[in-house]
Structure 1
Amino acid sequence: MKTCLYRFTAFVLVLIASPAHSACGPVYGADGIAVDKNGDVWIAHYEDVRLGKLTPASGRFEEYLPTTVANPTVLKRDTWDDKDGFSYKFDFGFYGLGMDDSHDTVWSLAFNSDKLTRFSRNDRLFADVQLPGRSLGRFVLPVDAQGNVWTLAGPCCGQEGELQLVKINPQLEQQAFALQVRKAKVPSLTVGRDGTVWASLIANDDTLPSLYAFRNGQFEAVPLPLEMTTFITRLHVDAQGDLWLATGDDIWRKHNKTFERYHLPTPGAQPSMMTSDTRGNLWFTEWHGNKIGRIDSTGHIREYPIPPEEESPLTLAVDADGKVWFSVLFNYDLFRLDPDSGQIQSFPLPVPSNWSKNAAEGLSACVLKPKDALSLMAAKTPPQPVAAANPVLRHPLNYPDNAGAKAFEQNCHTACHSWYRVDRAGQRRTDWRPTVERMIEFNKAPIADEQRELIVDYLNRHYTLAKP
């Protein structure tokens, strides 16, 4: 095991955050959200090298950087070059969060790597643990009652190798347990209060999902209902010890040996992240439904629409007051839902440190003023159609007649590069060339120079910050 311990230098900057502070940088929402015993909300972004902490009562937002080697030249961002522009060789950011209040630590996975990071809230020290393979998973790092962190490591992205379940204790010692799987797709992991670790994935060349229970150093395959024919998005164990599984348009609950199915009201909702509160409610995000959902202790389902200009809620956490904190795909802000009123507030986060001049300074802090994102009495007022509530651009300008739009559609348009995302990103860009070059280089995309120039020209003419 390779472990590294280091401290950041400190720099404090107090300001009032506003949309003007987000002139550039990534547009993904938080990959990880966790609430600690003090009520502070912690966040991590995979495009961002910091860990963030928001104290809701005061609005104070602090960010902690685990490195002082962030690229200091990213502000130029006018060429694709390791020296003169942004390079993904610097500071990938984090995948998800794990909260351990008993040891005052926050855990995360380093983006696209074989490293786990632990942050001590007491002495503000970061420590790295090298895993026995590339980390698999995102959004949530399960932490058991003893403070052990669990993750999957091994083959990824079509590669073959040995998949391992890894346990890291609070002293950064690790154990690995081999699972007889050569390839794994859509893995998910959770741990119960009794210490049972649950893992779901599509194994090897299978098309159906598999579920495993890990107890006393042994894996046990758990039969799934015959109706469960699609992949399992996420697992979660509630305070009662029941296992919840999100899949397709359904959420399932495993109580003892019985599976109970909850079919969601919104067609194509695609439930994703799940958590539970102290009142016995299960909360979940609807990736395609654009809603936050709740299943109460009686089995009743209620859905809360997110603000109509937003898309694809990512992850969520519930605080001690029962309020639900969540992120969305194309907005850096943090959102808070009051389930009783249906009101949603947004907390505009400042520019990520790895894109700013303060990247190598260690700690920065600011004060956030929350704003009302949506006051929707969900129980009384039906949600309005998106176009009527707040028109947003969901299709390209002049498409399909524009050659640049057609080039983008043919070469870049996927589920992760929707026109809506381009429109949102355009509010933070002054020049698209570094972004386009970065994506081509990082993804090894075979895009001809002529097509590349058409794409850059089109995006710069239609999707950049308004010129003075």
Structure 2
Amino acid sequence: MHPQPRRAQTRQTPAISELATPTADAEPVGITAGPDDALWFTENSANAIGRVTTGGTFTEYSVPTTGAGPAEIVTGPDGALWFTESNVDQIGRITTGGTVTEYALPTSGAYPWGITVGPDGNLWFAEPGAANIGRITTGGTVTEYALPTSSAFPLSITVGSDGNLWFTEVLTGSIGQITTDGTITEYTVPSLFSLPIGITSGPDGNLWFTDAGATQIGQATTAGVFTGYDLTDTLFFPFPWGITTGPDGNLWFTENVGNDIGRITTGGSITEYAIPTTDSSPLDITTGSDGNLWFTENAPSQIGTVTP
């Protein structure tokens, strides 16, 4: 018998598709996988929370406070969705049935942005305007912790493999850590012109973040050791923004100015894929229940999907 020839293996390019939100000029920002297998997202300019099924059916729910500016959103431990209201210093909660409750923050000008679920069963969020990290219980009790650096401008927040909360400090080029009892440590990113934006916990137990200033994707151990990986698209300022762990065990990120969706392996290999709509201004990205990546396109008011 003669051996059969081996077929060459090729890697398929991820397919990117786009869906327009029902409301024009909604300007979606945050997106998360909901407990109902749908994707939930914020409509910053339309002052609404949107829901889209993996089949592409949309529903929109108005936020009660006018001009709230909903920003980031996450599924809470109570089965509701929790979101930040950046313009009015409030945290919002919406059930999967569309009932919205709002909680005022103690600090004026907090400009709440990133939000995540902590290991203690509370919601933790960043207050860039006040240089605070906030915590809110599912009953609505808010506690705020001032950062050691008042000019830090904390933006995004996630839970690390060490059971602490980790966040980006945009204006000081640092990554911060806060324990659930409020102890804060700050680590300076060694990359030149560092401007950390988004952050997530990777499958390798490290923190991964987008570094818009250094044009890199950064990796940080929970001990504060950093590694930076240069983006392929370095001819201009791609401004990487959101980042998440994908279903394939890689990190996926958006390039807000570069108009790409990027993928980086835990070994640092980067691939970038162009979004069909020009100047779409992609922001946040998450994994849906269908195993695809879902992301917000702020400028054209669209929701994008990537099949990895």
Classify the TM-score, shorter chain.
0.7 to 0.9
Equivalent residues of 1:136, 1:151 under 8 A apart: no
Equivalences for residues 426-437 of structure 1 within 5 A: none
1:219 aligns with 2:184: yes
Equivalent residues of 2:67, 2:87 under 8 A apart: no
Equivalences for residues 315-464 of structure 1 within 5 A: 315-339=284-308
Equivalent residues of 1:164, 1:176 under 8 A apart: yes
State how far apart, in whole Å, the 2-side matches of 1:218 and 1:256 are: 15
Aligned to 1:209: 173
Give, in angstroms, the shift of residue 242 of structure 1.
0.9
Equivalent residues of 1:136, 1:187 under 8 A apart: no
Aligned to 1:46: 44
Q: Pick one of 158, 163, 168 that aligns with 1:190.
A: 158
Cα 1:55–1:129 change in 2 (3 A) is same
Q: Deviations over 1:280-327 (max 9, x none)?
A: 210100122110000124432111110143432122111244311122
Cα 1:27–1:110 change in 2 (3 A) is closer
Equivalences for residues 160-171 of structure 1 within 5 A: 163-171=131-139
Q: Deviations over 1:325-355 (max 9, x none)?
A: 122232112121222xxxxxxxxxxxxxxxx
Cα 1:130–1:201 change in 2 (3 A) is same
State how far apart, in whole Å, the 2-side matches of 1:172 and 1:178 are: 19
Aligned to 2:147: 179
Cα 1:44–1:288 change in 2 (3 A) is same
State how far apart, in whole Å, the 2-side matches of 1:210 and 1:297 are: 21
Question: For residue 91 of structure 2, what is the amino acid of its counterpart?
Answer: L
Higher helix share: 1
Q: Which has the higher mean CA deviation after the structures are superposed, 180-189 or 45-54?
A: 180-189
Who wins on radius of gyration, i.e. which is larger? 1
Give, in angstroms, the shift of residue 186 of structure 1.
6.1
State how far apart, in whole Å, the 2-side matches of 1:219 and 1:288 are: 32
1:252 aligns with 2:218: yes
Equivalent residues of 1:276, 1:282 under 8 A apart: yes
Q: Pick one of 29, 32, 35 that aligns with 1:34.
A: 32
* Other structure's SS at 2:87 match: coil
Cα 1:33–1:271 change in 2 (3 A) is same
Q: Pick one of 229, 232, 254 that aligns with 1:265.
A: 232
Percent identical among aligned pairs is: 25
Equivalences for residues 222-241 of structure 1 within 5 A: 222-225=187-190, 227-241=191-205
Question: For residue 178 of structure 1, what is the amino acid of its counterpart?
Answer: A
1:61 aligns with 2:27: no
Give, in angstroms, the shift of residue 239 of structure 1.
4.1
Give, in angstroms, the shift of residue 265 of structure 1.
0.6
State how far apart, in whole Å, the 1-side matches of 2:299 and 2:216 are: 25
Equivalent residues of 2:116, 2:124 under 8 A apart: yes
Question: For residue 189 of structure 1, what is the amino acid of its counterpart?
Answer: I
- Unaligned residue ranges in structure 2 (runs of 5+): 1-18
Aligned to 1:128: 102
1:141 aligns with 2:115: yes
Q: CA RMSD in A?
A: 2.7
Give, in angstroms, the shift of residue 41 of structure 1.
0.9
State how far apart, in whole Å, the 1-side matches of 2:111 and 2:204 are: 27
1:98 aligns with 2:74: yes
Cα 1:166–1:251 change in 2 (3 A) is same
* Other structure's SS at 1:31 match: strand
Q: TM-score, normalised by structure 2?
A: 0.81
Give, in angstroms, the shift of residue 230 of structure 1.
2.5
Cα 1:307–1:49 change in 2 (3 A) is same
Question: For residue 229 of structure 2, what is the amino acid of its counterpart?
Answer: Y
Give, in angstroms, the shift of residue 234 of structure 1.
2.0
* Other structure's SS at 1:211 match: strand
- Unaligned residue ranges in structure 1 (runs of 5+): 1-17, 70-89, 157-161, 340-468
1:108 aligns with 2:80: no
Q: Pick one of 240, 254, 269 that aligns with 1:300.
A: 269
* Other structure's SS at 2:134 match: strand
Aligned to 1:430: none
Cα 1:145–1:277 change in 2 (3 A) is farther
Q: Count residues in correspondence.
A: 283
Question: For residue 187 of structure 2, what is the amino acid of its counterpart?
Answer: V
Give, in angstroms, the shift of residue 137 of structure 1.
4.8
Q: TM-score, normalised by structure 1?
A: 0.55
